Amino acid sequence: MSVLEIRDLHVSIDTDQGTKEILRGVDLTIRSGETHAIMGPNGSGKSTLAYTIAGHPRYTVDSGSITLDGEDVLEMSVDERARAGLFLAMQYPVEIPGVTVTNFLRTAKTAVDGEAPAIRSWIKDVNASMAKLRMDKSFAERNVNEGFSGGEKKRHEILQLELLKPHFAVLDETDSGLDVDALKIVSEGVNRAKENTDLGVLLITHYTRILRYIKPDHVHVFVAGKVAEEGGPELADRLEDEGYDRYLSAATDA
């Protein structure tokens, strides 16, 4: 049983126009086996939260804390965070020219585990996971994200999730741009990881659609850099009907 705790987190970025505060006091606690959906309008800071958890250097933590079982995550390098069991599926996965999926996965697995995986069982695991995600074998020899379709990029993120076996996964709009079939395949991958490894999930999404396949225990509405409301799955249903307008006008009035 692990716990990821975010306390009063304030984060800013440097832009051409100066420093801009994006996260304004985020509080969130996620335990093993729990799925938390973060839902919010574009530009509310959801990806900023995801990147800050993963340790992207662009984002400056001005105050607050992130801890994993009491350990200070903000003191850890990106690599250390991955080794501690944190995983980020990016909203816009980046191309890695010259690096094949096979090599990338093996390097990542070695880095996360601190030792190279035994070759036979590793190849078996990779092939099995790719088959479950309905990925063609030839995919393994392509360069990471180069010329991948939107759906292929997202499946590749979930392939990493299945193979690296983190304790907590932040999934940043893993549903965006997927047709229903791909959405189901990707969701099944996340659900397998939840069952097999008691994964804690922070599921960032703009739409309620993915929540039909990956059931959240908690829903957090994220507006203007912080959690504006929290509830159970019923809150997602309400957002489906009402959208974010109510929160946005409240944020503008404040």
Q: Give residues in contact with ligand ADP (CB under 6 A).
A: 13, 15, 22, 40, 42-48, 58
Q: Which residues, 6 or more positions from 160, have their beta carbon under 8 angstroms from its beta carbon?
A: 87, 89, 105, 108
In degrees and rounded to multiples of 5, residue 38 shows phi and psi of -110, 115
Q: Is 52 in the site for Mg ion (CB under 5 A)?
A: no
The DSSP output letter for 135 is: -
**Minimum CB distance to ligand ADP smaller for 81 or for 226:** 226
Q: Is 12 in the site for Mg ion (CB under 5 A)?
A: no
45 contact, one of ligand ADP, Mg ion, none, CB 5-8 Å limit per kind:
ligand ADP
Select from 12, 47, 160, 174 the one that contacts Mg ion (CB under 5 A): 47
**Minimum CB distance to ligand ADP smaller for 126 or for 169:** 169
**Minimum CB distance to Mg ion smaller for 34 or for 172:** 172
Closest approach, Cβ 203 to Mg ion, in A, equals 13
Q: Tokens for 72, please give them.
A: 């200070």
CB atoms within 10 A of CB 42: 8
120 contact, one of ligand ADP, Mg ion, none, CB 5-8 Å limit per kind:
none
**Minimum CB distance to Mg ion smaller for 105 or for 171:** 171
**Minimum CB distance to ligand ADP smaller for 13 or for 123:** 13
The DSSP output letter for 249 is: H
Closest approach, Cβ 221 to Mg ion, in A, equals 15
Task: Please provide the distance, in angstroms rounded to a whole number, between the alpha carbons at the two ends of the chain.
Answer: 39
Select from 15, 42, 121, 138 the one that contacts Mg ion (CB under 5 A): 42
In degrees and rounded to multiples of 5, residue 207 shows phi and psi of -120, 155
Q: Where are the beta strands (DSSP E) in 69-189?
A: 71-72, 86-89, 96-100, 143-144, 168-172
Length of the chain in terms of residues written: 254
Q: Which residues bind Mg ion (CB under 5 A)?
A: 42, 46-47, 91
